[in-house]
Structures are given as C-alpha cells and as structure tokens.
Chain A
Amino acid sequence: MSSLPILRRPEGNVPEGASYGGNGDENMIPALLTRREDAIGFFEKNISDALGWARANSIFQYPFVTACCGMEYMSAMSGRYDIARFGAEFPRFTPRQADLLMIVGTINVKQSPVLKRVYEQMCEPKWVMAFGVCASSGGFYDNYATLQGADRVIPVDVYVPGCPPRPEQVLDGLKILQEKIQAQRHAVATMERDANAHTRKKSFLGKLLGK
C-alpha cells in the first residue's frame, strides 16, 4: 500500500451514504480513509456516546433549596427513593464543582441575581432542573415579589411539575435529563486546515517541522 487513491466527492446534491461511481473500484476503498467527514463523524459519535455515558451517570448536583420543595428533595436524596441508583447521589455545596443546578423552591425577584450568579459560577457543561411548580412557572405566587419561573433568568433543561413533586417525579425528571445528556453531540475539534495557515507566522519549531 504505497499510495491510496483519494475518492473525490461528487458535484451537486448527493444524498448522504449514496455510493458513487458504479464500476466497483471505489466501493472497495475503506470508508475511514476515503470519506473524511464520515470518519470524523464516526469518531465524534463514539466520543459523544462515551462522554454522554460518563456524564449522565455521574451527575454532581447543587441543590439551590429555597422553599418547602426541599423536603421532597431530602426524601428523593435519602434511602427510600435513593437517587444514588441513578448516579446522582453526591450533592456539592459549591456550584463550582457541580454539573446540575437543582432549583428547589420559589425564587423571589430579590433572589434572582443570586440564582443567576450561582449559574454563572458553574463550569461547563452544566444543566438545570426546575424542581416543582414554583421554580418552573412561579406557581400560585403570581405576585409582585416572585419570579415567574426560573427560566426567566437562566435556561432550564428539565421541568419537574408538582407542588411539591413526588420523589418518583424527580427521579423521572432526572432520567429524562440523563437521556438528554446521553444524546448530546460533542463536536470534535475540526481537522480542517486553517485557510490562512501558510501566511501565519511560524515559530522556529514550526518552521523546522513545516518542511
């Protein structure tokens, strides 16, 4: 295998996965070597699946508990309902170490800058669960003092309804979130060459290796 033939992509709008040519030779070429996008896509999918699996089953949560929903949160945390079965047993009490912000309870207008700040302190990737109807929509606190849903301030991934929600609902919401995390695609850093690479100033080592 001194040199492999490079297959050119056909002109025009060709559906993905269609076989080109037809005389048979092209189809013999290994796909990983010939179709670069497919190769990247394959790699990306594997990486995404692995990362999603790792992330979805090790959710470090930060409970932002402000109200009575906290009781149900404690119940969901502890032995009977045992959120640890789903790999989310470890509450961190600093947002800097957490993946999942659980907004448990009513958010006042006065609290909303604090909530926003806590969210901003979390590292990427991060997810948010609105726990209970007050965090989701303000609930029956349709008044001057209450934020009408945490998604007015920060983006929310999962809404768990209920006043307060049963622990089963919380587990259900957590599993929905896990599915979402599992399904997320993580773009691999592109392998395309920079179009301006040849004009960029090179370091000494770059010059040496650029030969």
Chain B
Amino acid sequence: MSQALVDLVRERFPDAVVSSHSTRGDEVVVLKREHLVSVVGFLRNDPAANMKLLSQIVAIDMLTYRSEMTGGGSIASNEAPAYDLQKKQLVEPRYYVAYNLYSVTSKKRLRLHVQLRSDDLKVPSITSLYRTANWWERYCFDMMGIEFTGHPDLTRILLYPEFVGHPLRKDYPVRKRQPLVPELEFPDLVRGPGPGPGGAGVPMSQTQVGRKNGDPSTYD
C-alpha cells in the first residue's frame, strides 16, 4: 500500500535499512538503531512522505515467540517467572521497538522497527521531532524497560515509582504483586497472592491448593 514510502527510505538511506516486509497490508521497515532519528526526521519533514502524525511507539518482547510455555508450575507463583528461562534458548534480538507513523495528507502508514538485544536496551529518543513521543517513550520504559537516550524526563508514567521491574516483559511473574500499603489478613488465595490461608488459620480447599501449585486441571 505504501511501498513507495519504503522505496523512498531505501533510496534515501541505503545503509540504514536492515530489511523490509509487509504484514497484513502494513509496510514495515527494519532500521539500524543509529539511523533512527535521521530517518524519522526525514519522513516527518519530506514533502513526499509528510508523516506528521506519530500514532504509537510500542515495545515488543520476543521471549516466547513461536514457543510454548515451559511454565505451569509457576503460574500461581508470586516470585518465579512464568517462563523457565534456564531451559529456554533466549531469542536474540529479544526486543524491538515499533514506531507507527501516519501521513494525514496522503493517508499512508509506515511502521519502523528497531531491534534490540537484551544486553543493550538503548534507543535514541525522538522527542525532538514529535512531542507525543515523550509519553510513548516513558510508557515503553515503564512497561518494558527500554531506555531512550536523550529523553528529557524518563520516569514511570503509569506505575508508581516504588514498583520494581517491568511488568509487560514476558519473564515478569504473572501473579507477582507489589502492594503499596500493607495488606490486611485475608483467608483466600483464589483471588491471587496476598496474606493467605496460613495467616488467617483457614485451610485451603483442594482448588486453592491446585491453583497454588499451578495445576490447571483444578481451575474452575
């Protein structure tokens, strides 16, 4: 649909483009990280592209891509990750950041990808080009821990500052909770972690035991 834009980027920045493909009618250009700002700036200001709207910046974790869960025993756990990282071959590059651009005049979309290895999660910030990138980059930092170099205020945007870790990463424990106020005793584990049956002296039902041990056959 917007193959002309891909060709334009390829022609203008021949050494910045790693690859390009099309998924479900959307053109995707995979870029090298160091050329991101110049390519985005070109697409924004060039009259042929004229992509004045940055729809989204999202980060994707590819840890469990095309592989089944090895967890099961750890679904209901508070601490252990849902995916057994020891048994799993890490996919590298594990993360990528996707920029969805839109041209209001020509009604064309283009998606830019930047791939990141898990030991080097740094991307140059594009807040100088799009002001909306400020919050999107804070969002990616909050949820995935991507570090945007040159961002004016890279702090958590949705979660509280006391939160440890980045919850949308695939290795974040599914049922891990980080309460801000000390929680009252509650004789119930079905609702998820918290001061559980031990504290209140109420024995667990078989379903609760099964849930705690992550046995899916006991789920109702």
Within 8 A of A (CB), among B30-59: none
Within 8 A of B (CB), among A100-132: 109-110, 112-113, 116
Q: B160 on the interface (CB 8 Å rule)?
A: yes
Residue of B at shortest CB range from A139?
Answer: B191
Q: B172 on the interface (CB 8 Å rule)?
A: yes
Q: A-side binding surface: helix, strand, loop or mixed?
A: loop
A112 vs B194: C-alpha distance when bound (angstroms): 14
A152 vs B175: C-alpha distance when bound (angstroms): 16
Q: B210 on the interface (CB 8 Å rule)?
A: no
Q: A31 on the interface (CB 8 Å rule)?
A: no
> Could you tell me if B183 and A110 are in contact, using CB atoms closer than 8 angstroms?
no
Chain-B contact segment, one of A58-66, A141-149, A172-180, A189-197: A141-149
Q: A137-B191, A138-B191, A153-B183 are in contact. Are A148 and B160 (CB under 8 A)?
A: no
A142 vs B193: C-alpha distance when bound (angstroms): 10
Which of A109, A113, A154 contacts B177, CB < 8 Å? A109
> Could you tell me if B159 and A110 are in contact, using CB atoms closer than 8 angstroms?
yes
Within 8 A of A (CB), among B145-177: 158-160, 167, 172, 175-177
> Could you tell me if B192 and A109 are in contact, using CB atoms closer than 8 angstroms?
no
Residue of A at shortest CB range from B183?
Answer: A152
> Could you tell me if B177 and A144 are in contact, using CB atoms closer than 8 angstroms?
yes
Which of A113, A138, A148, A151 contacts B181, CB < 8 Å? A113
Interface residues as binary, B183-194 with A (CB distance below 8 Å gives 1, 0 otherwise):
110100001111
Q: A137-B191, A149-B191 are in contact. Are A144 and B180 (CB under 8 A)?
A: no
A142 vs B160: C-alpha distance when bound (angstroms): 18
> Could you tell me if A109 and B191 are in contact, using CB atoms closer than 8 angstroms?
no
Q: A41 on the interface (CB 8 Å rule)?
A: no
Cβ of B25: which chain A residues have Cβ within 8 Å of it? none
Q: A144-B177, A144-B178, A148-B192 are in contact. Are A109 and B160 (CB under 8 A)?
A: yes
CB distance from B150 to the nearest CB of A (A): 28
> Could you tell me if A153 and B192 are in contact, using CB atoms closer than 8 angstroms?
no
Residue of A at shortest CB range from B190?
Answer: A137
> Could you tell me if B179 and A152 are in contact, using CB atoms closer than 8 angstroms?
yes
> Could you tell me if B192 and A112 are in contact, using CB atoms closer than 8 angstroms?
no
A154 vs B160: C-alpha distance when bound (angstroms): 20
Cβ of B179: which chain A residues have Cβ within 8 Å of it? 109, 112, 147, 152
Which of B160, B167, B184, B191 contacts A110, CB < 8 Å? B160
> Could you tell me if B172 and A152 are in contact, using CB atoms closer than 8 angstroms?
no
CB distance from B71 to the nearest CB of A (A): 16
Which of A144, A148, A154, A155 contacts B191, CB < 8 Å? A148
Query: 14 extra interchain contacts, Cβ-Cβ under 8 A, other than A137-B191, A142-B175, A144-B176?
Result: A109-B160, A110-B159, A112-B180, A142-B191, A142-B192, A144-B167, A144-B172, A148-B193, A148-B194, A149-B191, A151-B186, A152-B186, A153-B183, A155-B184
Which residue numbers of A lie inside 8 Å of B, CB to CB?
A: 109-110, 112-113, 116, 137-138, 142-145, 147-149, 151-155
Across the A-B interface, the 8 shortest Cβ-Cβ residue pairs: A152-B183, A144-B167, A148-B191, A110-B160, A148-B192, A112-B181, A137-B191, A142-B192
